[in-house]
Amino acid sequence: MLVIIGYLLALGCIFGGYIMHGGNIKVVLDALPNEMLVIGGGALGAFVVNNQPKVIKATLRCMPAALKSSVHTKKSYLELMALLFDILQKARKEGLMSIEQDVDSPNESKLFQSYPNIVKDHHLTEFLTDYLRMMVSGNLNSHEIEALIDSELETHHQESHAPIAAVARVAAGLPAFGIVAAVLGVVNTMSSVGQAPAVLGAMIGSALVGTFLGILLAYGVVEPLGGLMEQQAEDRSKKLLCVKATLLASMQGYNPTTCIEFGRKVLFSTERPSFSEMEEHVRAKR
């Protein structure tokens, strides 16, 4: 909703100011279809050439998701840390082997099914169960698992930022495509130099709309969307970092309550639950 409000505010102020200044909006609207074809088509073609199919697909998935409200709320972090607490508490009381079946089949585990919103996040569930499985096997120490987690997080960072970089490149190229549209408009105007001044004026105005649209689309539409996608990618990574900090603390011998405190501290302050909120939520889940 905020994205739509932001776009309406930006476009409303820009075109509203133009009209208040005495501008003729009809000139812009008349030129819009042709200029959008040149600018939008050129940018889209460059986007396709510039990116592998997997990046194109990822970008098309991420852009609509950016328009939705964030799912990475304080409530979702409370759910994650409560699940981690339950897993570590069971492992501490009954031994690591007691969670083996839960880890191997999270979709059939009563422990995991108590947190359906976490299980729905397949990437997070897979990340968590993979490293719990390594802990159960006992073949790796905490330093080796930390190095492995860091490698996976680096790969995740690269994958999640590929669509963001693709959108940023489109935003960077749009002003240039606006200039291309304007130059083509000037070429068209020069071929009609014998026309009446009113006709030439309209053609020049139409050509300048291309430059205007290229800049507007770049800095008013596409680049802000890329910035939002980047922030959402950082939010997604926080859950993985929370899991990392919690599991490593467990491997170093801390009790479950202290372990989830390690995980809580890596969260952004705007979504981080307080210690008392975390304690109350865990107690309520028992």
200, two tokens: 């030439």
Residue 91 lies in a domain: yes
Question: What string of H, E and C letters represents the secondary structure of 208-250?
Answer: HHHHHHHHHHHHHHHHHHHHHHHHHHHHHHHHHHHHHHHHHHH
User: Cβ-count burial of 263 within 10 angstroms (0-12 exposed, 13-18 middle, 19+ buried)?
Assistant: buried
pTM metric for this prediction:
0.84
CB 94 within 8 A of CB 201: no
Tally of structural domains, the chain: 2
What's the CA gap between 63 and 210, in Å, rounded? 25
Residues 159, 236 contacting (CB under 8 angstroms) = no
Pair (211, 186) in one structural domain: yes
Token pair of 199 as six digits: 């006709």
% of the chain exceeding 90 in pLDDT = 52
Note whether 175 and 202 are same-domain residues: yes
Nearby residues of 103 by Cβ (< 8 Å), 6 or more positions away: 129, 132, 133, 136
Q: Which domain holds residue 219?
A: 26-68+158-231
> What confidence tens digit (pLDDT) does each residue in 147-171 have?
999 999 999 999 999 999 999 999 9
Q: CA dist 207 to 132, 177, 190, 217, Å?
A: 61, 12, 11, 16
Is residue 99 in some structural domain?
A: yes
pLDDT over 70 at 286, yes or no: no
Q: Could you tell me if residue 17 is inside a domain?
A: no
| pLDDT at res. 26 | 86
Residues of the chain with pLDDT > 70, as a percent, come to: 99
Stretch 25-31: mean pLDDT = 85
Residues 221 and 244 in one domain: no
Task: Break the chain down into helix, strand, coil percent, rounded to 5.
Answer: 85, 0, 15
Q: For 21-49, what is the mean pLDDT? A: 90
Instruction: Report if residue 103 sits inside a domain.
Output: yes
Contact partners, residue 59, CB within 8 Å, separation at least 6? 51, 162, 163, 166, 167
Query: Confidence band (pLDDT; 50, 70, 90) for 285?
Result: low
